[in-house]
Amino acid sequence: MAIPRTSASAAKPKRHPRRRRLYAWKDKHYRWVPDGQGDWRLQGYIVRHRHKPKRGHFRGPGKKPAGRPAAAPAVPPAVNPDPRPAGAYQGPFGVEQAVRLLNRAGFGPLPGQAEQLVSLGLVGAVQSLTRPSGAATLSGPPPVDDDGAAIAPADAWGHDHIWWLDRMVRTNQPLVERMALVFHDWFATSIEGVSKQQQMIDQSNLFRSACFGSFLDLFKAVTVDPAMLQWLNGSENRKSAPNENYAREMMELFSLGADRGAYSEDDIREQARALTGWRNDWSGEQGAYNFRFDPNRHDVKDKTVFGRTGNWGWEDACRLCVEHPLHPSFFVDKLWSYFVPQPPSAPVRDALMGIYNSSGRQIRPVLETILISPDLYQGPAMVKPPVVQLAGMLRALGRYVDTDAWTWLCEPAGQVLFRPPNVSGWDDTRWLDTSRMRARWNLVHYALDEVSVDAWGGGYSTTESAEEALDRAIASWDSPALRPEHRAELLEFSRRVEKQVVANWQRGPYRAMRQNALLQLIGVSPDTILQ
């Protein structure tokens, strides 16, 4: 009962029905970028004009900038450059290691960035990420939607997703964005239960500002964050009608973990009473607003949580959790899991817990230790979350956020920012299945939209060799290191295509298609998907 196929439609490459033509006029512009070796190189990039550009309009600089390029991104001086502390990774810190660091502690390198980090040494490189100075700088054109208009992250559907994606692409403080993503997953809140996109954005800004400091401070801020108060019913929790939702999740998911004997159902009920008192107003115009603590709604009787009795309030509730003896192990295991796929060994775990406790439960010292650990550099690869892969691809391709299609394209890949599947966040062990792999393929296809060459315009080389084709495609992806067996397969592919050329007219078009297929294959190779 198969649907009949027609040969005509099978042969014709079909434009996907969801794809729209975004811009009518595109042309190549040029800019000077650091070449990673202390000098500049000219980089071509595609600009899409909404209106037909005038002949001879400005397409980029002619003169090379004077002097050496600034580091990209600006790196503050390392406080403690190599040599490395005991327990740290002691092997070579070259481009390969720097790329892994940038992949896991950010969104992959910008052109030249890995080389910059190498020059700082391991410790200096890590500290350049964990100790950024001042506010983040976003370089490059600001994000626009499909119509070329400025995005409206607080108002337009899906623009919240591309607002954050853009920060991932353009920031000079990639670890801040990556840690905000970590805590977005850790304290997973979804717009599905929050009335305004701005409240979600505000929550992500809270993560940005508090991601390196005291975990207790972050925990307390999240507990009374308006998005969280809506999401887990914190502002409906009052002494006459306690709501246990937040009390349970703050223990199970945020600070202690389930099935460890850390707390009882009684602890949850008592904790819910400690958390009573927050409320908000509601209007059709504003949604949920005016979040505040109302003493009249707070239960002032004694509560007994984890065996400790007192007239606890919401700040005590957070403190009691982080002072619980099972909290430090939960914290270091969870933080570790975002950066290294295998759990830490017992000695490493003990060391991390020691650092956490002795620092007064600060996030940064634990994070810095994870980021210089041998397990990160010598351990196995892990699958990038979809938005991490996407942001990394855009950075490598020199593309900026110029379409809101990324929201609906990321949805089948399994990750829309501000929309985690539930309060436990995304499942990092299930990023890939056939449906999500297909979505990643399509993301790559879309990302390459303007990098692809014109197969039928007649301008492509008719003599390009298989090796030259592969080199060109790899260079377009900012020269990632490919595993040898992948490189061999791609070269084999290049040669196979060449053998398909039988007629003279096919020489150029087939080579152009080969180039486009190589670009696609690199994007869907394990080298791009893994970090």
Partner 1 sequence: MTPNSHNCCGDYTRAQLLRSAAAEAGKGLPIIEPGMPEPAGTGLSRRTFLSRSAGLALAVYGASKLPLSVFEEGIAQAAPGDKVLVSVFFDGGIDSLSVLAPVGDPRYSQLRPSLALSPEAGSEFSEDPRLRWHPAAASLATLHAEGKVSAFPAIGYDHPDQSHFTSRHFYEVGELAVGFRTGWLGRYLDLVGDTENPLQGLSMDGSLSPMIATADKPVAAIDSVDGFDLWSPVSDPVRDEMYRSFARFGSLPSDSPGLAQVRRATAQTDKLRQDLGGIGEFSSPVAYPDTRFAHKLAGLAAFIAAGLPMRAVTIRAAGGYDTHSDQATDLDRNLRETCEGLLAFQRDLEARGLADRVLTEMWSEFGRRPEENGSAGTDHGAAGCAFVIGSKAQGEMVGEFPGLATLDANDNLRVTSDFRAMYCALLEQWLGQDAGPIIPGASGFVRPTLVKA
> Measured between alpha carbons, how far is 134 from 507 in angstroms, rounded to an integer?
54
Q: Rule CB under 8 A: is residue 510 a binding residue for partner 1?
A: yes
Among candidates 75, 59, 210, 53, which has minimal Cα distance to 133? Answer: 75
* Residues in 385-404 that interact with partner 1 by CB under 8 A: 404
For the CB of residue 296, give the shortest distance to partner 1 in the complex, in Å: 21
> Measured between alpha carbons, how far is 33 from 40 in angstroms, rounded to an integer?
5
For the CB of residue 459, give the shortest distance to partner 1 in the complex, in Å: 16
> Measured between alpha carbons, how far is 294 from 234 in angstroms, rounded to an integer?
12
334, 441, 472, 479: which one binds partner 1 (CB under 8 A): 441
* Residues in 290-349 that interact with partner 1 by CB under 8 A: 341
For the CB of residue 429, give the shortest distance to partner 1 in the complex, in Å: 8
* Residues in 237-296 that interact with partner 1 by CB under 8 A: 282, 284-285, 287
The tokens of 150 are what? 């400025």
Strand, helix or coil for residue 77: coil
36, 391, 497, 508: which one binds partner 1 (CB under 8 A): 497
* Residues in 139-168 that interact with partner 1 by CB under 8 A: 145-146, 152, 155-159
Q: Rule CB under 8 A: is residue 455 a binding residue for partner 1?
A: yes
How many of the chain's residues bind partner 1 (CB under 8 A)? Answer: 83
114, 229, 448, 473: which one binds partner 1 (CB under 8 A): 448
Amino acid at 523: G
CA distances from 321 to 187, 219, 314, 466, 485 (A): 15, 10, 11, 60, 49
116, 237, 280, 525: which one binds partner 1 (CB under 8 A): 525
For the CB of residue 176, give the shortest distance to partner 1 in the complex, in Å: 25
Residues in Cβ contact with 482 at an 8 Å cutoff, skipping those fewer than 6 apart: 474, 490, 522, 525, 527
Q: Rule CB under 8 A: is residue 1 a binding residue for partner 1?
A: yes
131, 486, 487, 507: which one binds partner 1 (CB under 8 A): 486
Cis peptide leading into residue 226 (ω within 30°):
no
Q: Of all helices (H) and strands (E), which one includes residue 291?
A: strand 287-293
For the CB of residue 411, give the shortest distance to partner 1 in the complex, in Å: 6
Q: Rule CB under 8 A: is residue 445 a binding residue for partner 1?
A: yes
Does residue 504 contact residue 528 with C-beta atoms inside 8 Å? no
Q: Rule CB under 8 A: is residue 193 a binding residue for partner 1?
A: yes
> Measured between alpha carbons, how far is 298 from 313 in angstroms, rounded to an integer?
8
For the CB of residue 237, give the shortest distance to partner 1 in the complex, in Å: 16
For the CB of residue 312, give the shortest distance to partner 1 in the complex, in Å: 29
Q: Rule CB under 8 A: is residue 350 a binding residue for partner 1?
A: no
442, 461, 462, 479: which one binds partner 1 (CB under 8 A): 442
| Region of 66-74, 173-181, 327-335, 406-414 interacting with partner 1 (CB under 8 A) | 406-414
User: Between 92 and 526, whose beta carbon lies closer to partner 1?
Assistant: 526
Residues in Cβ contact with 106 at an 8 Å cutoff, skipping those fewer than 6 apart: 129, 174, 175, 177, 178
User: Between 442 and 462, whose beta carbon lies closer to partner 1?
Assistant: 442
DSSP secondary structure string for all residues of 218-265:
HHHHHHT-HHHHHHTTGGG-BTTB---HHHHHIIIIIIS-SSSS---H
User: Between 20 and 28, whose beta carbon lies closer to partner 1?
Assistant: 20
> Measured between alpha carbons, how far is 347 from 329 in angstroms, rounded to an integer?
12
Burial (CB < 10 A; 0-12, 13-18, 19+), residue 124, is buried
For the CB of residue 376, give the shortest distance to partner 1 in the complex, in Å: 13
Q: CB count, 10 Å around CB of 203?
A: 24
For the CB of residue 281, give the shortest distance to partner 1 in the complex, in Å: 12
* Residues in 5-34 that interact with partner 1 by CB under 8 A: 5-6, 9-13, 16-19
User: Between 78 and 383, whose beta carbon lies closer to partner 1?
Assistant: 383
